[in-house]
Chains A and B, each alone.
Chain A
């Protein structure tokens, strides 16, 4: 679950030269397969899918992770004979993390390259303008990485977000868990430290509303700006109130900084939830030290030890194609891969892969993917829940809901190892 929006957008002009060169190079590479069209079924022409991704600029790491996921799905699908016998051909172009470029790219893919289908880009910032282009041309828009409120506020009926829930609902499963505890074990007081961006703060706010309704008293509730490098003063303010539970509405770096500050200030809440950062199996232990991860909660859709069907095969295929280890696989790759899985499911069910069929078919039923069984409301907002994960014995494990849990939740959180 990666939720970056426009953090560090000032960095954008830093990549200006690279953007221009990269975009030119990529458009040159990808301009070869134009023409042909061939969406009619039965002719066995390749199934051309156009995707714009952030291969340079602010979102480049995540954009490349999405690219790996899409391309892995392509090679797996083609090895199995393609989709309805048609070989999958991806046309991936670089948008340099730029909302204007993404519009140009999708317009070109649809009107010039005449791709059969399109999949989504990385981040809500780019998904919003991209999905409008797709909607204008009546293309379905299966997208793995745009789950912010602005995406669903557009009320587009061609859009399907390939994660279990809207990103602002990433903490609901933690609230479900805490409120499932017997009253005697429930925390009495809570503190909320929230990053000021359209994803992070609302996650904590959603939890706070439910906690307050259940009588858990708010003793600290503050938002911090994205450029906050040092979280120690904030955590010292929280430590002074000594809450039972701390909820971090966080992205990655700030979640690490919050926990480092708690360790340094020797502040041990009974329950600690970080909406992001702590769900990264590789980066989190590297940032705070593995012994300090014990007992920290987060939420996730896909991670290396996920018990979801197909996950092990995905990991094996991924490592065979790209190398590395399971823990280093970015969830974005699994989310992008799942976009392709949805397409195959539609093809299997209907025998067709045209845009109108995809849109009408996905609007009913439940669809298995690497990120869970998905179903959407009319505007593409998934109606499921993330799973609650917790670091136990040096591993990220699913602990709630009980159905599918790998371990019972560890509470209260053990003291920091230091």
Chain B
């Protein structure tokens, strides 16, 4: 029983970080209806930026988020403006898959060139610390990362629900043509949306670099996880992706600890397949356009 509860605690804390990564992914899909295959690479880029800031300037990895998120926001805006906006025609979704995959490969190549392919991680003094709470171990980094993810998700929610930009985003998601007729600058919304998605990747990357060893090729595993989280949650639903990330974290953790690690990730795919069979639009995916 003790091991089970410990596994659930671990799963929830880990799921929180994936929720942050996946929220950016699903936001981009919600606004532009494109699947961003570069999201994992952006997370790894964020992790490397954090690594450099930490090893070169001694900047705390959590504090480095203040620098990495605006930087990757800009990267996201530039990618959208330069590479995605020019896409035209009925096959934009398919073309954007190729373009974002190319962005992922470019980031991987640049990082390999700059850092080599050896695994590395960000190792502040408190990286291995944990609190003992009622006999259970709670990792300091995981806990702070989880809380940070909640704060950032709340900020994202606030932006979408309470600001003029958020209303523009939601209008664009619901009906792009009508939104444009009402004066929403869809192009601008898309650019900022892509930037926001990249910014969440940066924040998640800072944390990811402390939790896991990574190298430039780490994004392949990440993107496959993120895509399954986003599909399980329902493409375009931020709340759905948060729930799905927690389901993934807890399911993998329990199966790894209590049964066999080899089935840990597989369990999640079983859940995904079952959900897609019974509810093809995912847990919280909208039947019609408009949920975010």
Contacts and interface: CB of A to CB of B under 8 A. Distances in A.
A264 to B, nearest CB: 5
**Which one of A10, A58, A232, A292 has the highest number of Cβ atoms from chain B below 10 Å of its Cβ?**
A232
Interface string A246-264: 0000001100110010011
Nearest to A196: B262
Interface residues of B, number: 45
Interface stretch (B86-94, B117-125, B145-153, B271-279): B117-125
A188 to B, nearest CB: 21
A76 B254 CA distance: 56
B217 A224 contact: no
A310 interface: no
B114 interface: no
Nearest to A232: B10
A185 interface: no
B109 A17 contact: yes
B139 A225 contact: no
Give chain A's interface residue range (CB within 8 Å of chain B): 35 or more
Interface in B214-244: 215-218, 220-221
B109 A18 contact: yes
B123 A240 contact: no
Nearest to A255: B213
A230 interface: yes
A229 interface: yes
Nearest to A238: B257
Interface in A275-325: 283, 286-289, 292
A292 B123 CA distance: 13
A14 B217 CA distance: 8
A407 interface: no
Contacts of B10: 230, 232-233, 236
A223 interface: yes
Nearest to B249: A230
Contacts of A15: 108-109, 112
B162 interface: no
A8 B130 contact: no
Contacts, number: 135
Interface string A7-38: 01011001111100000000000000000000
Contacts of B187: none
Given A15-B109, A222-B260, A234-B257, A58 B117 contact: yes
Interface stretch (B1-9, B67-75, B199-207): B1-9
Nearest to A13: B105
A288 B128 contact: yes
Nearest to B109: A18
Nearest to B266: A225
A101 interface: no
Contacts of B265: 225, 227-228
B222 to A, nearest CB: 8
A289 B119 contact: no
A60 interface: yes
B257 A8 contact: no
B264 A252 contact: no
Contacts of A234: 256-257, 261
A236 B7 contact: yes
A58 B257 contact: no
B163 interface: no
B261 A230 contact: no
B153 to A, nearest CB: 20
Contact of A233 (B121, B212, B253, B262): B253
Given A236-B3, A264-B139, A266-B137, 8 more contacts: A10-B220, A61-B117, A224-B256, A232-B139, A237-B256, A240-B6, A240-B257, A289-B125
Please list the 3 inter-chain residue pairs (A to B) with the smallest Cβ-Cβ separation, ordered nearest first: A11-B217, A233-B256, A224-B261
Interface of B: 2-3, 6-7, 10-11, 14, 105, 108-109, 112, 116-119, 121, 123, 125, 127-130, 132, 137, 139, 211-213, 215-218, 220-221, 252-254, 256-258, 260-262, 264-265
30 contacts: A8-B217, A11-B216, A14-B217, A15-B109, A18-B109, A61-B117, A193-B261, A225-B264, A227-B265, A228-B261, A230-B211, A230-B253, A233-B254, A233-B257, A234-B256, A237-B261, A240-B3, A253-B213, A256-B213, A263-B128, A264-B139, A265-B6, A283-B119, A287-B121, A287-B123, A287-B213, A288-B128, A289-B125, A289-B128, A292-B128
